[in-house]
Structure 1
Amino acid sequence: MKANSQRVKGKNFRLLHGKPLFRWILDSLLSIEAIDEVVINTDARGILAENGLTDGKRVRIRDRKPELCGDTVSMNLILADDIAAVAADTYMMTHTTNPMLTPATIQAALAAYKTGVAEGRADSLFTVNKIQTRFYRADGSPVNHDPGNLIQTQDLEPWYEENSNLFIFSRESFAKTGARIGKQPILHVMDQMEAVDIDTPEDWALAEAVASLQTTQKAAAS
């Protein structure tokens, strides 16, 4: 969790639909009993304290090393530092910028990961968006379809987009690849309404709209 961001200034602490952005994913994670501890790697301990968050029973705040600060540092290097300092059987990584990710989706992904590991067919998991549409290269040539035979898009071969919402892995799988995605990953499809990843002002506006819709739906159901 960085103090500063390039395209949406101060986004991690900015109010999203009345609540600081970082609290959305933090509240979801803390609502899941299977998660023993939430580790926040940050250069903004002071700002978190100003927003009422300090180290607690299930929250550990780790000060990001100076050499790991900056916009061009690979997240895998930050994860390597956390893994070296925090012992665990299973690591789950997400971002402050994924406010719509729900506890239900997190729990479903964790269950799929554990089943995959137990059956020997997976060593990691990451969430994706399933996309079935017509893609073209910059020169106008088709990538995944025949323009002369326009079959229904739902009949096209699906493509999967990493949506940066959730990654699950072990110390062993990380050691093999030096990355959060192992050699045998599960691609876990999730609802695209939840898959908002805030990088731009447009992403922020979309997250606000989704949050407003969710509030309206909850009020109507109560």
Structure 2
Amino acid sequence: MKANSQRVKGKNFRPLHGKPLFRWILDSLLAIEEIDEVVINTDARHILAENGLVESDRVRIRDRKPELCGDTVSMNLILADDIAAVPADTYLMTHTTNPMLSAATIRAALAQYQAGVAAGTADSLFTVNKIQTRFYRADASAVNHDPDNLIQTQDLEPWFEENSNLYIFTADSFARTKARIGKKPLLHVMEKMEAVDIDTPEDWALAEAVAAIRAPENAPAR
């Protein structure tokens, strides 16, 4: 959780529909009994404190090392540092910028991951958006369909877009790939509105609209 961001200034702590952005995903995580501890890797402990968040029995705040700060540092390097410092059977990684990710979806993804591990068919999981539409290259040539034989988009082969909402893995799977996606990952499809990931001002506006639809009780008083 960075203090600064490039395209939406201060977004991690900016109020979204009545509460700071970071509280949305934190509240969802803390609602899940299976999650023993939420670890926040940050260079903004003081800003969290200003917003009423300090360490507790289920929240650990880790100060991000200076060499891991900055906009170009790979998230996998930050995760490697967390894994080395916080031993666990299973790691679940998400971002402050995924405010609509619900506890129900996290529980469903955990169940899918645990079933895959038990069956020996999976070592990790990540969330995706299912897309069935017509894609073109820059030269207007078709990518995934035949322009001379148009079929309904719902009959096209589905493609799956990594949506950066949720990753589940172990220290072993991370060690094999040096990444949060292992050698045998499962895909967990999310609903499009829930999968909002805030990178741009347009994303923020979309998140505000979705929040107004999904959580009217959080609407500011008028």
TM-score in terms of structure 2 length: 0.97
Q: Which residue of 1 aligns with 2:60?
A: 60
- C-alpha distance after superposition, 1:118-159 (max 9, x if no partner): 000000000000000000000100000000111000000000
Q: In 1, Cα distance between the equivalents of 2:112 and 2:21?
A: 27
Q: What letter matches 2:175 in structure 1? A: A
Q: Which residue of 1 aligns with 2:166?
A: 166
* Residue segments in structure 1 that go unaligned for 5+ positions in a row: none
Q: Which residue of 2 aligns with 1:77?
A: 77
Q: In 1, Cα distance between the equivalents of 2:177 and 2:81?
A: 15
- C-alpha distance after superposition, 1:34-90 (max 9, x if no partner): 000000000000000000001110000000000000000000000000000001000
Q: How far did 1:215 drift?
A: 2.7
Q: Which residue of 1 aligns with 2:130?
A: 130
* Residue segments in structure 2 that go unaligned for 5+ positions in a row: none
1:197 alignment partner, SS class:
coil
Q: In 2, Cα distance between the equivalents of 1:63 and 1:102?
A: 26
Q: Which residue of 1 aligns with 2:141?
A: 141
**2:209 matched to 1:194?**
no
1:160 alignment partner, SS class:
strand
Q: What letter matches 1:2 in structure 2? A: K
Q: What letter matches 1:64 in structure 2? A: R
**2:78 matched to 1:106?**
no
Q: What letter matches 2:204 in structure 1? A: W
Q: What letter matches 1:18 in structure 2? A: G
Q: Which residue of 2 aligns with 1:204?
A: 204
Cα distance change on mapping 1:216 and 1:53 into 2, 3 Å: closer
Q: In 2, Cα distance between the equivalents of 1:169 and 1:101?
A: 18
- C-alpha distance after superposition, 1:142-194 (max 9, x if no partner): 00000011100000000000000000000100000000000000011011110
Cα distance change on mapping 1:215 and 1:111 into 2, 3 Å: same
Cα distance change on mapping 1:218 and 1:43 into 2, 3 Å: closer
**2:3 matched to 1:3?**
yes
Q: In 2, Cα distance between the equivalents of 1:6 and 1:216?
A: 29
TM-score in terms of structure 1 length: 0.97
Q: CA RMSD of the aligned region, Å?
A: 1.2
Q: In 1, Cα distance between the equivalents of 2:160 and 2:135?
A: 13
Q: In 2, Cα distance between the equivalents of 1:29 and 1:216?
A: 20
Contact 2:17 2:218 (C-alpha < 8 Å) held by counterparts: no
Amino-acid identity (%)? 82
Q: Which residue of 2 aligns with 1:20?
A: 20
Q: What letter matches 1:75 in structure 2? A: M
Q: In 2, Cα distance between the equivalents of 1:215 and 1:7?
A: 25
Q: How far did 1:196 drift?
A: 0.3
Q: How far did 1:218 drift?
A: 9.9
Q: In 2, Cα distance between the equivalents of 1:215 and 1:107?
A: 20
Number of equivalenced pairs:
219
- C-alpha distance after superposition, 1:92-116 (max 9, x if no partner): 0000000000000000000000000
Q: In 1, Cα distance between the equivalents of 2:103 and 2:55?
A: 22
Q: In 2, Cα distance between the equivalents of 1:218 and 1:2?
A: 25
